[in-house]
Copies of this chain bind each other. A is one copy, B any other.
Amino acid sequence: MVTEIGIGMLGYAFMGKAHSRAFREIARLDTPLQPRLVAVAGRNEEAVADTAARYGYERWTTDWRDLVSDPAIGLFDNGGPNSLHAEPTIAAAEAGKHVLCEKPLGRDAAQSYEIWQRVEATGVKHLCGFNYRFVPAVRLARELIEAGELGEIRHFRGRYLQDWGDDPSLDTWRFQPDEAGSGALGDLGTHVVDLARFLVGEIATVAGFVHTFLPGRRVDDALEAAVQFESGPIGTIEATRLALGRRNAFQWEVNGSKGSLAFDMERLNELQVFRADGDRARGFKTVLVSEADHPFWDLWWPPGHIVGWGDTFTHEALHLLRAIGEDTDVAPYGATFEDGYRAAEVCDAIVRSGETGNRVTVEYRPAK
């Protein structure tokens, strides 16, 4: 039997739009729990009203507290600026609502830890918006690694390259330290750290730094780090907003004792797969991840008919609704707030390494 869950959305900009579109898509998909778009909150009255009308929210508000106090809302989705992640998310969870919060979870590891612990204590489901876990090719990568097809992992190299930051006049909340917490680090670096952890495991040490190129810019533009994983692999973590020509190039490669995988978000439907299987015709396969047996593909089209970047949010929302509806775990295929916190610890460690000039061992605070 299909039942409904009320959605309360905070934010109507980039992420607000992406999440709202996802919930609308789910209406046509199989899930025991169907989203009902109850309300959207945002600061600008005109903009939030427009979003409500376009996406079919029943009402809108300029005060997120209205969402928290609304009993018709069962899932609070926080797509607001980073500075608005902690308080509303915790309040919603403490009001008994399941929560989805965009990344980075908090502005730093301490705040992220606080969010995780406070929310975890309430018993609600929580998902941190690392939507790239829900790219079909990334999920396939995880499954191949889990199945042992790469053997023992030796390397992870991840870099998230964009170029839109190359404009000194940029002045959104993403460039305000108070609102964003950091620049490329929280925006792009956390994604790299999350997939590193998702694919390879916990990061043990980092040696690197963040860097700001543009005069007057108050957040970091880029980061570089050499890393070691707890289970032995080594590699690099990089992100920048100043790699001209790279629009959304989140590229990563994993090398193991039996094979390798490589990926580029600008071609997100493809996974490069190498297996050391003794085949005379030896090389990386370009796998168009679009077969019926690939994760999420049953939602879509015949093989070879590709999906778009925005569709990752549909997969993510569907995963969370299934977890709520069937009372299953968000982890490991979805990122929990613990994952959000752990990514933040690694990011903080990169900052500290840059400040001190030392290689930093990442210390993860335990669940209380």
A-to-B contact residues, CB < 8 Å: 14, 17-18, 20-21, 24-25, 27-29, 54-56, 140, 144, 154-155, 157, 159, 161-162, 164, 166, 207-209, 211, 213, 222, 224-228, 232, 234-236, 238, 240, 242-249, 253, 255-260, 266-268, 270-271, 273-274, 276, 280-288, 290-291, 293-294, 300-311, 353, 357-359
Knowing A226-B224, A240-B155, A243-B260, the reply to whether A307 touches B304 (Cβ < 8 A) is no
Knowing A266-B304, A300-B310, the reply to whether A255 touches B242 (Cβ < 8 A) is yes
Q: Least Cβ distance of A180 to chain B in Å?
A: 16
- Some 8 contacts from A to B, beta carbons below 8 A apart, are A14-B302, A27-B54, A209-B226, A244-B256, A245-B260, A246-B255, A248-B306, A270-B283
Q: Least Cβ distance of A298 to chain B in Å?
A: 12
Cross-interface CB contact of A286 among B24, B161, B284, cutoff 8 Å: B284
Complex contact A28–B14 (CB within 8 A) = no
Q: Residue of B at shortest CB range from A51?
A: B28
Q: Which residues of B contact A211 (CB under 8 A)?
A: 234
Q: Residue of B at shortest CB range from A207?
A: B207
Chain A contact surface mostly: mixed
Complex contact B280–A293 (CB within 8 A) = yes
Q: Residue of B at shortest CB range from A271?
A: B281
Q: Least Cβ distance of A299 to chain B in Å?
A: 10
Complex contact A157–B159 (CB within 8 A) = yes
Complex contact B154–A213 (CB within 8 A) = yes
Complex contact B222–A208 (CB within 8 A) = no
Q: Which residues of B contact A282 (CB under 8 A)?
A: 245, 285, 287-288, 291
CA distance A311 to B266 in the complex (A): 17
Complex contact A248–B54 (CB within 8 A) = no
Complex contact A280–B285 (CB within 8 A) = no
Complex contact A154–B242 (CB within 8 A) = yes
Q: Which residues of B contact A234 (CB under 8 A)?
A: 209, 211, 222, 224
CA distance A304 to B164 in the complex (A): 10
- Nearest first, the 7 closest Cβ-Cβ pairs linking A and B are A247-B304, A245-B274, A248-B304, A308-B308, A224-B226, A307-B308, A305-B309
CA distance A281 to B285 in the complex (A): 8
Knowing A208-B207, A285-B285, the reply to whether A310 touches B301 (Cβ < 8 A) is yes
Given contacts A29-B54, A357-B358, 15 further A-B contacts (CB under 8 A): A18-B301, A21-B25, A27-B54, A154-B213, A154-B222, A211-B234, A224-B227, A226-B226, A236-B238, A245-B276, A282-B288, A306-B309, A308-B308, A308-B311, A353-B359
CA distance A302 to B265 in the complex (A): 13
CA distance A58 to B228 in the complex (A): 53
CA distance A111 to B238 in the complex (A): 34
Q: Residue of B at shortest CB range from A159?
A: B157
Complex contact B226–A283 (CB within 8 A) = no
Q: Least Cβ distance of A167 to chain B in Å?
A: 11
Q: Which residues of B contact A213 (CB under 8 A)?
A: 154, 232
Cross-interface CB contact of A357 among B243, B274, B291, B359, cutoff 8 Å: B359
Q: Which residues of B contact A140 (CB under 8 A)?
A: 281
